[in-house]
Structure 1
Amino acid sequence: MAKNVLILSCSPRKEGNSDLLCDQFALGATEAGCRVEKISAGDRRINYCTACDACQGNGGACVQKDDMAEILDKMISADVIVMATPVYFSTMNAQTKALIDRTYARYTAITGKEFYFIMTAAVGDKELLELTLESLRKFASCLTGSRERGVIYGTGAWNKGDITKSPAMDLAYEMGRNLQ
């Protein structure tokens, strides 16, 4: 059975380095026969969580009327979730954090997912991306039955398109291609 893959590209920059890695992963996954959808968080309206807790008393419906309810439905129905973020000042960007926080409304329904994490940064040392990776892992650990399947470090990518010269491009494609 073909896997349902949801790619959450959280960079606000279209065709930026994390977005290009998402496209490579998508290409590989499509060739592997998976159903793939990529959501660019920068193209969506995702408000930050206001901690009103209304969602916990009304069946998981957030009172905010933005694009997050649709994204959350897609996360729940996916078999594989790819989360991609540029690294700003040693951590995930605001779009990624807002998306994660907004899963609170129904996070207990995001179960049994395979996770892939993609991070890009100008720095050349992947060790400087570990805090971001740890945060992504902590989010996934809050979801019942989640399993990390792969990590892609897109280092040395400052300018738009720098990642195209990186081995991370091939790695992203291969990880997608090897989905079974």
Structure 2
Amino acid sequence: MSKKVLIISSSPRKGGNSDILCDEFAKGAAESGSHVEKIFLGSQKIGYCLGCGVCNTTSKCVQKDDMTALLEKMVSADVILLATPVYFYTMSAQMKTFIDRTVPRYTEITGKEFYYIVAAADTEVSSMEKTIESFRGFTIDCLEGTVEKGIIYGVGAWNKGEINSTPAIKEAYEMGKAV
């Protein structure tokens, strides 16, 4: 069965290690017959949440930026991959801003399958667990009917492209194929 796969890459470096893993996941998912769309957050105009509360009653944000279209894509996707480099044991600012801005429609992001990709120079998977717990705080605790399907830990990759010589590159492709 063909699924709509939405990949959210929050690396500030296009072609950075977590972004490369997104491309491998996308390749595998596309080869398995899924419709894949990758969003590179660094190319999007997304303002910080203002905390004004307007969206709590209107389901619309007062800001006019790219987040409106991204929320529509999230609502219509079957599968969502969230990918981030790990900075100081947590997600990138780009990913956190993106998650914060889902408030206007987060109650509509239901019944989704979620995958996570995290990449870091650190060689210990345990150093990435706080980031995964932050993702779960959003997906499992806040979104109804969420199913966590898999995690790729891209460890030991600092410079752009170093992820290509780690097992994570094949794992990302294979996980995408299994979507």
TM > 0.5 fold call: yes
Q: Which residue of 1 aligns with 2:11?
A: 11
Matches within 5 A, 1:148-159: 148-159=148-159
Secondary structure in 1 aligned to 2:46? coil
Q: Which residue of 2 aligns with 1:167?
A: 167
1:76-123 CA distance string (max 9 Å, x none): 000000000000001001000000000011100000000000000000
For 1:121 and 1:46, the matched residues in 2 are separated by: 24
Secondary structure in 2 aligned to 1:50? coil
Matches within 5 A, 1:86-105: 86-105=85-104
For 2:176 and 2:57, the matched residues in 1 are separated by: 38
**Aligned-residue offset at 1:50:** 0.8
Is 1:128 aligned to 2:127, yes or no? yes
Aligned amino acid, residue 62 of structure 1: C
For 1:78 and 1:42, the matched residues in 2 are separated by: 21
TM-score (norm 1): 0.98
For 1:104 and 1:91, the matched residues in 2 are separated by: 20
For 1:129 and 1:44, the matched residues in 2 are separated by: 26
Unaligned runs of 5+ in 1: none
Q: Which residue of 2 aligns with 1:70?
A: 69
Runs of 4+ in 1 over 2 A off after TM superposition: none
For 1:139 and 1:155, the matched residues in 2 are separated by: 23
